[in-house]
Amino acid sequence: MAEMRAFPGDVADVVDQELDRLLPAKHDGAETLVEAMRWSLFAGGKRFRPALIFASGRIFGGLEKELPATAAAVEMIHTYSLIHDDLPSMDNDDLRRGRETCHKKFGESTAILAGDALQAMSFQVIADDANLSEQTRLRLLSGLGYAASRMVAGQQLDLEAEGKEISIDEVRHIHENKTGALIEFSVFAGAVIGSARAAEIDAIKTYGREIGLLFQITDDLLDVTETSESLGKTAGKDAAKNKATYPHLLGVAGAKKLADEAAARASAALQQIDRQTEILKKFVYYLLDRGS
Amino acid sequence: MAEMRAFPGDVADVVDQELDRLLPAKHDGAETLVEAMRWSLFAGGKRFRPALIFASGRIFGGLEKELPATAAAVEMIHTYSLIHDDLPSMDNDDLRRGRETCHKKFGESTAILAGDALQAMSFQVIADDANLSEQTRLRLLSGLGYAASRMVAGQQLDLEAEGKEISIDEVRHIHENKTGALIEFSVFAGAVIGSARAAEIDAIKTYGREIGLLFQITDDLLDVTETSESLGKTAGKDAAKNKATYPHLLGVAGAKKLADEAAARASAALQQIDRQTEILKKFVYYLLDRGS
């Protein structure tokens, strides 16, 4: 399956530079720890959440200099969650983005600590971002803390559900937290950094919730239809772990239908925002295409 | 060895109430996760760091209502660090404060996630504390993020040093980060919540650094001299793991001498603060006594 749509946004370089500035290879800290953090931070991730922050921020009038730190912070949280999810006691994955996972490369204790340090840093980065007003930073920090807690709760529920028959509502609840919370936060963050009105923030959060769902459905579909090589991570692992995914519960066709519905609701939410939201529409198409 | 001095401060109940309010047993989140978080949060810890925050805050004119949330946040970070340090891939400890460690009770993945969630919550708690000015919250969040990063770096260096012959300077560097950073932050936080002047903040940070050192030396001494029963955790584990502790490097007498010197420097730092600092002096005596 070829990806028909290009990944929207053009911020990966800016985010990489910001991450490199915030966590340079040369430093006077714990060498191996920083090496492990950078191993996972610079593993070729698409910077999906940073792209959402930039897209949303630009739509709502955020300045270019106001966006990189928050984008880097969210990528740090996301990376820490991948490191911990891959651990032997969790999903026990050896391969991520086409190379060894953090614990395979650096050992388990270093991987746990690298994740811990990335989480701590992410909050500090926003607290220290002098490009943002104090009020904006606090709104972001509160929202990020909440999203990070929800993400962890979702991962816990996901692990507890392994091997059990659970309902479609339960699957949705798990992923609204595990995957959705940080995606929703990303578009919210852009809106807060810009000057979105309350009604616009409601709409963008609905959009975020729906593309979070869409992201998860298409991720599940990729796990069924792709090879490990093309995915860069172990394919078929959901079925191997007897995870209750959308294709498992609804079949491939049913999951695709649910994806279409989520896409429609995401697009409808954008309609309520009287700004140039085309770039956010492109994320919907991109996600739909990757699952088709 | 009987503890001659009572533990200074009287804030444990206030902090426990605040923690219970922030993370109630009845909630609509991931049940087992919250149970695991509460298992470790309410394991009978002395609330040493919260006591420091209250003591420092009161000295510098902080209001009573301004202190509980930050105290709870620091205890959350401290608890998360204990949960992760006890993990099989780290110190592999089954016993903590006289009962099963989090991973023994709830399994490894839940313990990792409980620690992760406690860290996320701690930042959110401060970001949301409407009793503090926006500026104060951001200073605290920046300082807490830095302290939490240093703590993790110290744990990494400590694990790397196991079984190696390292110098007294290296031991000190490890523990200034692993244990000292959060203790230093605690007295700093009280000073920031109050209205400490810049010179006073310098002095209180020196005090924090020295009692952090004192804390670690006396902790090491307790590991040598006490039984597991009286400690509530596995005694003699430093020697068993061939950890380079202060008593190991300097002998018991040498370590006690270093403790006395740190105590003297902590007291000297307090002399530079023209306020009623007796309560902070009591922490010095308390720590000295527990190691004697």
3-state secondary structure B80-133: HHHHHHCCCCCCCCCEECCEECHHHHHCHHHHHHHHHHHHHHHHHHHHCCCCCC
**Predicted local confidence at residue B2, as pLDDT:** 41
Position A232 scores a pLDDT of: 64
pLDDT at B191 exceeding the cut of 60: yes
Residues 6+ apart with CB under 8 A from B189: B53, B56, B57, B70, B74, B140, B143, B144
Mean pLDDT rounded to a whole number for chain B: 93
Q: Which of A83, A84, A123 to mutate to test the interface with B (most CBs of B within 10 A)?
A: A123
Confidence of residue B196 (pLDDT cuts 50, 70, 90): very high
Q: Which three-class secondary structure state does DSSP give residue A46? A: coil
What is the nearest CA distance from A277 to chain B, expressed in angstroms? 30
Confidence band, pLDDT 50/70/90 cuts, at residue B7: confident
As a whole number of angstroms, the distance between CA A90 and CA A243 comes to 13
Residue from the list A115, A120, A153 with its beta carbon closest to the beta carbon of B33: A153
Instruction: Return the structure tokens found at A16.
Output: 């990489």
What is the pLDDT at residue B1? 39
ipTM entry: 0.95
DSSP 8-class letter at A233 = S
Nearest in space to B187 (alpha carbons), one of B202, B176, B171, B172: B202
How confident is the model over A167-209, as pLDDT tens digits?
Answer: 999 999 999 999 999 999 999 999 999 999 999 999 999 999 9
The pLDDT value recorded for residue A233 is 64
- Alpha-carbon distance of A107 to A87, in angstroms, equals 10
Return the pLDDT at A243. 79
Question: Quick one: average pLDDT of B190-219?
Answer: 97
B127 vs A116: CB contact, 8 Å cut-off? no
Please give the C-alpha separations between residue B192 and each of A179, B66, B188, B199, B205, in angstroms, as whole numbers. Answer: 36, 11, 6, 12, 11
Q: What are phi and psi of B96, to 5 degrees?
A: -150, 125
Alpha carbon distance A288, A286 (integer Å): 6
What average pLDDT does the segment B103-125 reach? Answer: 98
pLDDT tens per residue across span A90-144: 999 999 888 999 999 999 999 999 999 999 999 999 999 999 999 999 999 999 9
Q: Is the pLDDT of residue A2 over 50?
A: no
What is the band of A163 on the pLDDT scale with cuts at 50, 70, 90? confident
Interface with chain B: mutation pick from A141, A146, A151, highest number of B CBs within 10 Å: A141
A207: distance to nearest CA of chain B, Å? 23
Query: To 10 degrees, what angle do helices B48-59 and B68-85 make?
Result: 150
Mutate to test the interface with A, among B33, B82, B86 (most CBs of A within 10 A): B33
List the alpha helices (DSSP H) in chain B: 12-22, 31-41, 48-59, 68-85, 102-106, 108-127, 134-161, 168-175, 181-193, 198-225, 228-231, 237-240, 246-271, 278-290
User: For chain A, how many helices (H) and strands (E)?
Assistant: 14, 2
What is the Cβ-side half-sphere exposure of residue A8, based on CA atoms within 13 angstroms?
21
pLDDT of residue B187: 98
Q: Is the pLDDT reported for residue A240 higher than 80?
A: no
With 60 as the cut, is the pLDDT of residue B102 above it?
A: yes
What pLDDT was estimated at residue B4? 55
DSSP of A241-268, one letter per residue?
TT---HHHHHHHHHHHHHHHHHHHHHHH
pLDDT of residue B177: 97
Contacts of B225 (CB under 8 A, 6+ apart): B1, B252
Q: Which residues pair with A231 in a beta bridge?
A: none
Mean pLDDT of chain A: 93
**Structure confidence at residue B26 (pLDDT):** 80
- What integer is the mean pLDDT of B224-245? 71
- Chain A / chain B CB contacts < 8 angstroms: 133
User: pLDDT tens digits, residue range A69-90?
Assistant: 999 999 999 999 999 999 999 9
The pLDDT assigned to B223 comes to 87
Is residue B3 predicted with pLDDT exceeding 50?
A: no
What band does B129 get if pLDDT is binned at 50, 70 and 90? Answer: very high
Q: Is the pTM for the entire model greater than 0.90?
A: yes
Give the Å distances, CA to CA, from A37 to A118, A234, B77. Answer: 7, 21, 20
pLDDT at A7: 84
pLDDT at residue A5 is higher than 80: no
Name beta bridge partners: A100.
A95
For the record, the structure tokens of B76 come out as 């959350």
Over residues A232-248, the mean pLDDT reads 76
For residue A85, the distance in angstroms to the closest alpha carbon of chain B comes to 9
Residues of B in contact with A160 (CB under 8 A): 30, 32
CB contact under 8 A, A152 and B127: no
Nearest residue on chain A to B137, judged by CA atoms?
A138
pLDDT value at residue A227: 65
The pair phi, psi for residue B69, each rounded to 5°, is: -65, -45
Is the pLDDT confidence value at B224 over 90? no
Confidence of residue A291 (pLDDT cuts 50, 70, 90): confident
Phi and psi of A23, rounded to 5°? Answer: -135, 75
pLDDT one-digit tens code per residue, B269-286:
999 999 999 999 999 999
Chain A positions touching B120 (Cβ under 8 A) are: 119, 145, 148-149, 152
Percentage of chain B modeled with pLDDT above 70 = 94
Q: Which of B34, B70, B78, B123 to mutate against chain A (most A CBs within 10 Å)?
A: B123
Residue B159 CA: distances (Å) to CA of B100, B209, B240, B244 = 22, 22, 14, 11
What DSSP assignment string belongs to A68-110? Answer: HHHHHHHHHHHHHHHHHHTSTTTT--SEETTEE-HHHHH-HHH
In this prediction, residues B36-42 reach a mean pLDDT of 97
Q: What is the per-residue pLDDT for B244?
A: 80
Q: What is the pLDDT of residues B151-175, one digit of tens each?
A: 999 999 999 998 888 999 999 999 9
Residues in Cβ contact with B64 at an 8 Å cutoff, skipping those fewer than 6 apart: none
For helices A246-271 and A198-225, angle between their N-to-C axes, nearest 10 degrees: 150
Q: Residue B227: what pLDDT?
A: 65
Q: Which residues of B touch A109 (CB under 8 A)?
A: 87, 89-90, 156, 159
Residue A1: CB atoms within 10 Å = 12
pLDDT in tens, B48-65: 999 999 999 999 999 999
Task: Delineate the domains of chain A, giving CATH numbers in brackets.
Answer: 12-290 (1.10.600.10)
Nearest to B116 among A84, A113, A135 (CB): A84
The span from the CA of A148 to the CA of A185, in Å, is 9
Phi-psi region of A8 (alpha: psi -120 to 50; beta: other; left: phi over 0): beta
Q: Do A119 and B116 touch (CB under 8 A)?
A: yes
